[in-house]
Copies of this chain bind each other. A is one copy, B any other.
Amino acid sequence: MNKNSSNIMALAPNTSNKRETVCIFGTGDFGRALGHKMIQSGYRVVFGSRNPQTSSLIPKDAEVLSHAEAAQKAAIIIIAIQRQHYNFLIPLAEILHGKVLVDVSNNLKINEYPESNAEYLAQLVPGAKVVKAFNTVSAWALQSGTLDASRQVFVCGDDMKAKQMVMDIVRALGLTPSDQGSLLAAQEIENYPLQLFPMWKFPILFSLGLTAFFFFYCLIRDVIYPYVYENTDFSFFIAISIPNRICPVLALILLALVYLPGVLAAIIQLYRGTKYHRFPDWLDKWMLCRKQLGLVALAFASLHVLYTLVIPIRYFVRWKMSSQIISQALNNKTAPLNNTYAWLSDSYVALGILGYFLFVLLGITSLPSVSNNVNWREFRFVQSKLGYVTLILCTAHTLVYGGNRFLSPSSYRWYLPNAYMLSLIVPCIVLVVKFVLIFPCLDKPLTRIRQGWERNPQYSE
């Protein structure tokens, strides 16, 4: 029943005796785990080892022979050995001639060696057909069956047929092979499992820095200032009120920073009169992490929405409201409906809702499976057109929220303006410059430059 209750294409145990023999060099943890899984999937497995004696660790249905003997029993040999021991294969070159060698190794650091382990193996045993595979799967995952992340196995190799054979094994083990082309791709495949969200590092560190800055900024304005001047303890603002000031500020700034590099690139291209000169390195890197910046901004916006929606549930808010009502009732007076307030309040909330709604749409379109299903024109339409509309709505949301408080002196405590005022600087700059760039006198030459036209051809590399 285990088989049926799994949602993967695992193979039935009753196909055991139909599969070919596979040889595994090396009886370390990964070799044994792979061997175990292969036996489960119906392969005959022969281990090649320096000390060919069946230890209790080896799966009991497997044979253990010397390297040379084991290699002769199979057409496919999995090299589950560390790179530094590869040279023991040189004397076996004759036996390995024409065999498919599967390199499953990983390194400890990115780009540790000048050439990939698989290419090194191909140099050592020139007569063999080397295929890189399985390095993205962990031994623990293979044995425990919890293969949620690592179902994808990157395969590359120069020999089409050898690659096909390895991909069939991958499928038989219930994994998904992904053909990455020739052995030249091996270096990237070996670097892949060592990465830890490389594209996210900068956006997350940057936003953490900004968060820290605005946290202390708001702490001074909203907690320390009233404590010093009014001797009231609003320290509990740290839990919700201050986060709910920081989140919208960061969401707006980060969203504007997604569109700033595009605007800068346009200015640089207009100034240079060509698109064939490379952008400065920082701009290139910035442009490459725009998606991540945008998603971090969306995370802050979502937190802002949650923090805002819980406002009426908070004890402090309910307390404040009931004391106001009671004092009004005791003073026997009722305030009439202020139409301007009603307009301001409703329109800033409505702008925020629409902005957030479009922001979520942008986020959904950046999901890999969705963005793979739209073409370039559609992607540009969503990320550029809809993106600018989102930025305009969110900026307007903040401006209307400010209302007529921008000029009121009570908004400045110790000469510090409200945090939301600071957050408006970058988006306003982006929107103004973008607005200028839309004018035909600038848009036309820019379009021509992006189609390959050059003002001063000597600029190009």
Contact = CB atoms under 8 A, between A and B. Distances in A.
A345 B9 contact: no
A230 to B, nearest CB: 13
A346 B182 CA distance: 57
25 contacts: A4-B110, A6-B198, A7-B199, A32-B276, A55-B457, A136-B376, A143-B275, A145-B284, A145-B288, A149-B378, A150-B376, A172-B182, A193-B377, A233-B339, A239-B343, A240-B349, A299-B361, A306-B357, A307-B350, A309-B310, A316-B342, A322-B328, A327-B334, A368-B370, A369-B369
Given A9-B188, A285-B5, A366-B148, A14 B114 contact: yes
Contact of A9 (B185, B306, B327, B372): B185
Contacts of A307: 350, 353
A357 B181 CA distance: 39
- Consensus secondary structure, chain A interface: helix
A379 interface: yes
Interface in A176-232: 179-182, 184-185, 187-189, 191-199, 201
A84 interface: no
A306 B321 CA distance: 23
Interface in A391-413: none
Interface residues of A, number: 156
A432 interface: no
Given A140-B450, A146-B287, A461 B60 contact: yes
A368 B375 contact: no
Contacts of A75: none
How many monomers of this protein are in the complex? 3
A239 B346 contact: yes
A343 B371 CA distance: 43
Interface in A303-352: 303, 305-316, 318-319, 321-330, 332, 334-335, 337-339, 341-347, 349-350
Interface stretch (A124-132, A160-168, A416-424): A160-168
Contacts of A50: none
Contacts of A308: 310, 313
B172 A184 contact: yes
A66 interface: no
Contacts of A343: 235-236, 239
Nearest to A341: B315
A262 B158 CA distance: 41
A91 interface: no
A195 B375 contact: yes
B349 A457 contact: no
A15 interface: yes
A319 B334 CA distance: 10
B164 A171 contact: no
A193 B146 contact: no
A10 interface: yes
A220 to B, nearest CB: 19
Contacts of A371: 148-149
